[in-house]
Structure 1
C-alpha cells in the first residue's frame, strides 16, 4: 500500500509533466500547475521536487519574457541540484538561463551556458534537450553572421529531434532554417520547409510554436509579394503570441508587419506598428528589434521628407548600436573561443569513446571466451563429480577414501569457480528484462539460500527495507548484488564474537536506491579494500572462496549504472553501500 509521501511525490511529478506538455498551448496553466507542485514540494521538504518545480517555473517565465525572475528561479534550482548531485537538473536550469541571456543581448554568456548544457545532454544521450540547445546555438551563430555554422547547428537540431522522435523539436529548427533559405533567395525551399513546420505544429497541437511558423511563412509571402497572405499570417501569429504571453515573438511580428506595410506603401500603418514595436522592445529589453524598428522608422521619415524625425531615428539607431557594438564584437570573439574549446573537447571525447568502444569490444570477446570455456568444462567436471560419488560407494579402503575426499574437494572447488565465471559472463549477454524489485523478498531468499554455510547459525540478521521503494531493474543483477553481500558477511564473520551480525537495509533517497550491508566481521585494512573487486583476489586464504564474488558484484552494479562505497576497519567490520539510480 502506497504511503501519503509516495502519493504526494507522484502527484508532484504528474503536475510537472502536465505543466511541461501544456507549455505549447497554455502557458498560464503551466505556471499555475507548477506553482501548485512547488507548494506541495515545499510542504514535503523534498529538495529534488523543489528544484524541478523551480526549474519548470523558470523556463515558463523565460518563455513569456520575465527574464529577471526566470534567472533568479533557475539560480535557486541550480543550488539545490548541485547539493543533491542532479546533473541533468543543473543542465535544465542552465538552458533556461541561457535563453534569458541571449534573448536580452548577452550572447556570450548565454552561449557559455548552452555549451555547458550540451556537454551534459550529450553525455546523458538526451536527444530531446540536445535538439533544444542546438537550435538555440544556431540562433546565436545567425546573429554573429556565421550562416554556415547556423545551418549546421539547425540541421544537427533536426537530427537530434528525429532521434528523440519529436516532431516539435524538428519543426522548431525548420523555422529559422527556412528564414536562411529565404535570405539566400531560395524561396521554394524556404516555403517547403515552413509549410512542413506548420503541418507538424498543427499535428502536435503546438499553438505557441505554430505562431512562430506562421511568422516564418508570412516572411516568405512578403518576399513573394503575396501581401494579403503575409499580413494574415502576421496578424494570426500576433494573436497567438498575445494570448500566450510570448513577448519576443510579438515584437518580431510587429517589426515584420511594419516592414510589410512599407513594401505595400502603407506608410501610416507602418509607422504606427513600428512605433509600437519600438515601445514594446524598450519595455522588454528586446535589443535586436529596437535596432531594426529605429532603422525602418528612419526610412519612413526620410520618405516623408521629415528630416528632423529621420535624423532622430537614425541617431537612436546609431547610438544604440554603437553603445554595444564594441562590447558585442568582443563577445563574439570570446564566444568563438568558447566554441573552439568545445570543439576540442568534443574531438577528445570522440577519441576517448573510440578507446572505450575498443575496450568494450575486447571485454566482450574475453567474456565470450570465458563463457565458452566455462560451459565446455562444466560437462566433464560434472562427470568427474559423479564418478567420485560412485567411487566412494565402491571403495572401502580408508586411505583410498581420504584421497577420494581430497579429489572431491578440488573437483567441487573447480565447479564453484566455473559457476562464478558463468555468472560473470552471463551479465554481458543477458537481455535487459526489467521488473519491479521486491527488496525484502530478495534479502530473505538470499539469507535462506546460505543456510549450508558453517557460520550461518551463529550470525544474527538485521533487515530494514523501506516499503515505499519503487524500483524496476533486471532481477538477476539485483539478486547477485544482495547474494554476494550476504555470502561475504557470513563467510567473514567473527564467530568468536558474542553477537556476530549482518545488518542489511534498502531505501530510496534523492531519486536513488541505497542498499547497505554492515557486519562486525574480520574487516580489512585500507590496502586490502583497494583490491577486493579484482578478479580472483581473496581477502583471507584460510576461508574457502573463488575470489570472484565481489568482482561479480561490482560488474552487476556497473550494469545498473550504480556505484559502490566500502568502509572497513581491520578486526571491527565492514560496510558496503551501493547506490543505484532510479
Structure 2
C-alpha cells in the first residue's frame, strides 16, 4: 500500500525525533535513522524535511568528528532554511558549524556563529538550545584562558538546562566546570561536581555524555594519585567513545591515559597509547592532542635515553605548538573583538530600548493629559457657545453685539482646538477594525465637506486614483490624512491673478501606497517647512486655524508606519508626498 505524503511526512519527523533522542547512547543508530528520513524526504520532495534531515545529519557527523562532511551538510541545510525563512532551522545548522569550527581550533569563526545562534534562541525562548550554545561558548572562553567568563557561561548553561527541564544539559556543563575546579586546586569541589554529572548521565542513559564524565573523573583520580581508579575510568571512557564513534573524546582519553602511564612509570604502555593518540589525531586533524602527544613522547624518549628520538618529538612539538599558539593567539584577539562588539551592541540596544520606552511612556501620559483636559473643557465651552447664541437673540444693542460676536469667534476657535486635541488623542487610544479603503470616495467626501470654507468655489480639484488598489487599514486614519491635505490646500490657496488647484493622486507600488497632494497656493519658505508638523505651529496668522492639522496628519501617518515628505516654494505652491507600507 502506498503511503500518502502527509503520512510520509509524519514518518520523517518521527524518525528524526528518534534519531535525536538516540544520539546520547547510539550515534550509529542516529545516523541510520536520519539517513532513512532523508531518503523519504527526497522521494516526496519536501524541502522542509530535507533541510531538517541535513541539519541533523550534519550534527551527528560533527559529533563523531567528520567535520568536512558535517560543514557541507550544514551549509546546504542553511540554504534551504533561508528559503523557508525558518529562523530556528538556520540557528540549529549554525550551531553545528560552530562546533566543527572550534573543535578544529577556529575559535573566532566558531564564536561568531554561536553568538548568532544564541540571539535567535533567546528570541524564541528556546532554553534547550540556549544551554547547548552557552556550554560551547564556555569551552571557547576556556581556550581563551578566560576562566571567569567560562564559568559564567557554564552556570548559565546549567540554568537554561533547568528551565528546559533537561538533566543532560545540566550535566554537560558540570563536566567542564569540574575541570576548572581541578585546575584551581579545589579537588573536593571538582569531585563533587563530576560525581553529580556521572549520576545524572546514568539516570538519563546518556552513554556518550557518561564517557566525558568518566574522563573528567579520571583526571581527578590522576591528580590524587589514585592510579587504578584513573586507569579504569579512562579505559571505560575510551570503550564508550569507540562504540559511539566519538573521535575527539577518544583522542583526549588516550592522551590522558598516556600521561597517567608515565606517572605510573609504565613507559611501554604510555608509548603505545600516545602513538595511537598521535596517529589518530594526525588522521582526524585533532590539533591540540597532536602537539600534546608529541611532548609526552619526547619525555618518554628522554627517560629511555633515546636522545635522537627525543629531539625528533621535541622538534615536532615545538613546531606544532608554535603554529597552534600563534594561530590561537590571533583567534583569541579576533574572538575578543567579536565579544566586545557584541557587548557594545547589546549595551547600545538596551540604552535605545530604555530611551524609546521612556519616550513612549511620556507620549502616552501627554496624550492622556490632553484627552482628559479636552474632554473636560468640551462641556463648558459648548455651554458658553449655547448661552452666547441665546444672548445674541435677546440683545439688540449693536455695540454689545459686537462684543458678543468677538466672544463667539474666540469660543469657536477654542472649540476647534479642543476638537483637534480630541482627534489627536483618539488616534492613541482608539483601535478600529481595519477595512478596505476606497480612496476615491474618501477624497470626494472630504472635498464636499469643506464647501463652507472661503475660496472653495474658486479651487479646481483634480483626482487621479488607481482603481486596482487593495489596501486594508483603519479607515479613520486614512480619512484624517486626506481631510487635512484638502483643508490645508483650500485654506492656503492663492486666488489673486491665479487659477488655484489641488491635485490629489493615489498610486500603488509592489510594497506601498503613494499619496501625493499638489497645489499652487501661497507656498512656504524653507524655515516654515521645517516647523509645519510641530503642534500649534501656524505659518500664517492671517489665516484661521489651530496649528494642529498637520501635526494630526503626521501622527496618523506614523500610526500607519508611513512617511511624509514636503516640497514647497514661497509664492508657487506645495507638494505633500506620503508613503504608506502595504
Distance 1:497 1:552, change over 3 A: closer
Q: State the 1:393 CA deviation.
A: 9.6
Q: State the 1:210 CA deviation.
A: 3.5
- The CA distance in 1 between the partners of 2:483 and 2:84, in whole Å, is 34
Q: State the 1:98 CA deviation.
A: 3.8
Query: Is 1:321 matched with 2:333?
Result: no
CA contact (8 A) 1:131 1:169 kept: yes
Q: State the 1:114 CA deviation.
A: 0.9
Distance 1:572 1:282, change over 3 A: same
Equivalent residue for 2:498?
Answer: none
Query: Is 1:154 matched with 2:157?
Result: no
Q: State the 1:331 CA deviation.
A: 1.9
- The CA distance in 2 between the partners of 1:566 and 1:355, in whole Å, is 28
- The CA distance in 2 between the partners of 1:52 and 1:534, in whole Å, is 52
CA contact (8 A) 2:505 2:517 kept: no
Equivalent residue for 2:454?
Answer: none
CA contact (8 A) 2:295 2:313 kept: yes
Q: Please list the CA deviations of residues 307-329 of structure 1 after superposition, one character each: whole Å capped at 9, or x if unmatched.
A: 65x854x4553343233333333
Q: Please list the CA deviations of residues 175-208 of structure 1 after superposition, one character each: whole Å capped at 9, or x if unmatched.
A: 2221132234321111112233345545666553
Gaps of 5+ in 1: 428-440, 466-477, 506-515, 558-563
- The CA distance in 2 between the partners of 1:50 and 1:534, in whole Å, is 53
Which of 366, 379, 389 does residue 370 from structure 1 map onto? 366
Q: Secondary structure at 1:209's aligned position in 2?
A: helix
Distance 1:504 1:276, change over 3 A: same
Equivalent residue for 1:444?
Answer: 435
Q: State the 1:281 CA deviation.
A: 2.2
Equivalent residue for 1:291?
Answer: 291
Equivalent residue for 2:496?
Answer: none
Q: Secondary structure at 1:547's aligned position in 2?
A: helix
Q: Secondary structure at 2:435's aligned position in 1?
A: helix
Distance 1:356 1:60, change over 3 A: same
Q: State the 1:370 CA deviation.
A: 0.5
Equivalent residue for 2:245?
Answer: 245
Equivalent residue for 2:190?
Answer: 190
Distance 1:532 1:393, change over 3 A: closer
CA contact (8 A) 1:135 1:154 kept: no
- The CA distance in 1 between the partners of 2:244 and 2:383, in whole Å, is 82
Gaps of 5+ in 2: 395-400, 449-462, 490-500, 520-525, 568-573
Q: Secondary structure at 2:580's aligned position in 1?
A: strand
Query: Is 1:576 matched with 2:567?
Result: no
Which one has a bigger Cα radius of gyration?
2
- The CA distance in 1 between the partners of 2:384 and 2:7, in whole Å, is 59
Equivalent residue for 1:28?
Answer: 31
- The CA distance in 1 between the partners of 2:422 and 2:84, in whole Å, is 42
Equivalent residue for 1:118?
Answer: 115
Q: Please list the CA deviations of residues 356-407 of structure 1 after superposition, one character each: whole Å capped at 9, or x if unmatched.
A: 3663464155235414412431431442476379669968959999997995
Q: State the 1:28 CA deviation.
A: 2.0
Q: How does 1:219-298 map to 2 (within 5 A)?
A: 219-227=219-227, 229-260=229-260, 273-296=273-296
Distance 1:64 1:123, change over 3 A: closer
Which of 518, 538, 544 does residue 513 from structure 2 map onto? 518
Q: How does 1:2-81 map to 2 (within 5 A)?
A: 23-24=23-24, 27-28=30-31, 31-32=34-35, 35=38, 39=42, 43=46, 56-76=56-76
Query: Is 1:359 matched with 2:363?
Result: no
Distance 1:402 1:353, change over 3 A: same
Distance 1:300 1:330, change over 3 A: closer
CA contact (8 A) 1:453 1:491 kept: no
CA contact (8 A) 1:523 1:572 kept: yes
Q: Please list the CA deviations of residues 120-149 of structure 1 after superposition, one character each: whole Å capped at 9, or x if unmatched.
A: 7459856856665554454345446x3xx1
Equivalent residue for 1:175?
Answer: 175
CA contact (8 A) 1:138 1:154 kept: yes
Equivalent residue for 1:547?
Answer: 551
Q: Secondary structure at 2:65's aligned position in 1?
A: coil
Distance 1:340 1:142, change over 3 A: closer
Q: Secondary structure at 2:581's aligned position in 1?
A: strand
CA contact (8 A) 1:155 1:173 kept: no
Equivalent residue for 1:511?
Answer: none
- The CA distance in 2 between the partners of 1:328 and 1:446, in whole Å, is 66
Q: State the 1:155 CA deviation.
A: 2.0
- The CA distance in 2 between the partners of 1:365 and 1:66, in whole Å, is 54
CA contact (8 A) 2:111 2:335 kept: no
Q: Secondary structure at 2:280's aligned position in 1?
A: helix
Equivalent residue for 1:509?
Answer: none
RMSD (CA atoms): 5.9
Distance 1:571 1:32, change over 3 A: farther
- The CA distance in 2 between the partners of 1:6 and 1:501, in whole Å, is 46
CA contact (8 A) 2:197 2:213 kept: yes
Distance 1:114 1:416, change over 3 A: same
CA contact (8 A) 1:22 1:30 kept: no
Q: Secondary structure at 1:444's aligned position in 2?
A: strand
